[in-house]
Amino acid sequence: MSAPGRIARRLGRGFDSVVGAVTIIPVLAVISALPVLNLLSLGYLLEASGRVARSGRLRDAWVGLREFAVIRKILLAAWIAMLPVRLVLSFWRDAELIAPGSANAMALRVVLIVLIVLVTLHLLWAVVRGGKWRHFLWPAPLRFLRWIGAGWDWRKLWSGVRDGLRQLRLWHFFRLGTLGFAGALLWLALPVLILMAASKFANPGVSFLTSLLGSILLGIAVLHLPFLQTRFALTGRFREFLEPGSARRSFRKAPVAFWLALAATLLFALPPYLLKIELTPDEVAWLPNIVFVLLIFPARALLGWSLARAERRETPRAWMSRWAARLAALPVVAVYVFFVWFSQYLSWHGSLGLLEQHAFLVPAPLLGL
């Protein structure tokens, strides 16, 4: 291939990567607002941290850029292709409003139906051909007629659809998100339930002591859980959640990196708590989730990076750096635990808002569990 051809191909790949990266954030935000499906979003974030943990490169957190680029092309092409449909739809509604059942209204209705059929066929044909920009820009009618005349190979078409779905790895992300969710619950259920129970006690002293116990247990959990989830994403073994000693051993090999990842994970999870003061309508619940994904995505990447540094070292770091990181982690954990405890007095959902552990559970800061 000539030099201009190689340059054009690299530019095309770079553009697709940018398009895929821009698409990932809103897609994760929309999915995170849908119950059950938000486990896909959590699974994607865990997969991102696991890949960074394997390679040590932060750029590997962008999983499936090519697939997301194709999704972006399809959505953008569908939006552009639907413009004439929306225009004719508005004309037809106006005609029905002025003269219901008139000849003009009936003619516009026929045109609308024909346009919907043609646009749908154009989009499906573009996807069948590969979903590239040129396929959406030019429908290739002669090739379409030859394809129709040769007879539809449904087995080949279904095989292509199945391969496309397999490349998306939806089941893998769902399984990873479900197990990561379950592992987080093992650590968070007891302290969260204790904090919720403390708010029900009428006696201030009992309420304070119960809240203190729940806060201490929650602090212990958040010290371990980010790295246990990352180790689970790295190895795929659920028993990682039952071995906190592995996280502590990894911490000794990269204490400063672990502290940085912990601080990013906990502090970046705090802004979504402010979004719970007012109840957000369901129609736009995904919009605040964009803020959440933009914050938690780099935190997950840093968790994978810190674990990668630890995996590459065989001996612990100096005791001074280990203890400095431990002491520096205490105020970060204290701030996070205080905000979580205080959020029940700010949240629209009251003490039920304690169930929304944004840093570890499904990324749906306004919908909770």
Question: What DSSP assignment string belongs to 96-130?
Answer: HHHSTT-HHHHHHHHHHHHHHHHHHHHHHHHHHHT
At residue 178, does pLDDT exceed 80? yes
Residue-wise pLDDT tens digits, 226-258: 999 999 999 989 999 999 888 888 899 999 999
At residue 286, does pLDDT exceed 70? no
Contact of 242 with 185, CB cutoff 8 Å = no
At residue 333, does pLDDT exceed 90? yes
Residue type, 109: R
In terms of pLDDT, which residue wins out, 311 or 3? 311
pLDDT of residue 156: 58
Dihedral sign, Cα of residue 62, residue 66, residue 68, residue 73: positive
Other C-beta atoms lying within 10 Å of the C-beta of residue 322: 18
Closest to 340 in 3D by CA, of 322, 367, 358, 318: 358
Lowest mean pLDDT among 66-70, 101-105, 364-368: 364-368
What does the pLDDT average to over 20-34? 80
**Residue 9, class by beta-carbon neighbours within 10 Å (0-12 exposed, 13-18 middle, 19+ buried)?**
exposed
Distance from C-alpha of 112 to C-alpha of 84, rounded to nearest angstrom: 9
In terms of pLDDT, which residue wins out, 30 or 43? 43
pLDDT of residue 365: 47
What does the pLDDT average to over 36-59? 90
Contact of 238 with 178, CB cutoff 8 Å = no
In terms of pLDDT, which residue wins out, 145 or 111? 111
Distance from C-alpha of 186 to C-alpha of 3, rounded to nearest angstrom: 56
Residue-wise pLDDT tens digits, 75-113: 777 788 788 888 888 888 888 888 787 888 888 888 888
Domain parsing of the chain, residue ranges: 33-63+170-355, 70-168
Contact of 265 with 301, CB cutoff 8 Å = no
At residue 302, does pLDDT exceed 70? yes
pLDDT of residue 367: 44
At residue 364, does pLDDT exceed 60? no
Contact of 172 with 236, CB cutoff 8 Å = no
pLDDT of residue 300: 92
Residue-wise pLDDT tens digits, 191-218: 988 988 887 887 888 888 998 998 999 9
The CA angle 56-62-63, to the nearest 5 degrees, is 100
Q: Is this prediction's pTM over 0.95?
A: no
Dihedral sign, Cα of residue 148, residue 150, residue 151, residue 155: negative
Return the structure tokens found at 121.
Answer: 């066929």
What does the pLDDT average to over 168-192? 89
pLDDT of residue 127: 74
At residue 147, does pLDDT exceed 90? no
Mean pLDDT, rounded, of the chain: 81
pLDDT of residue 366: 44
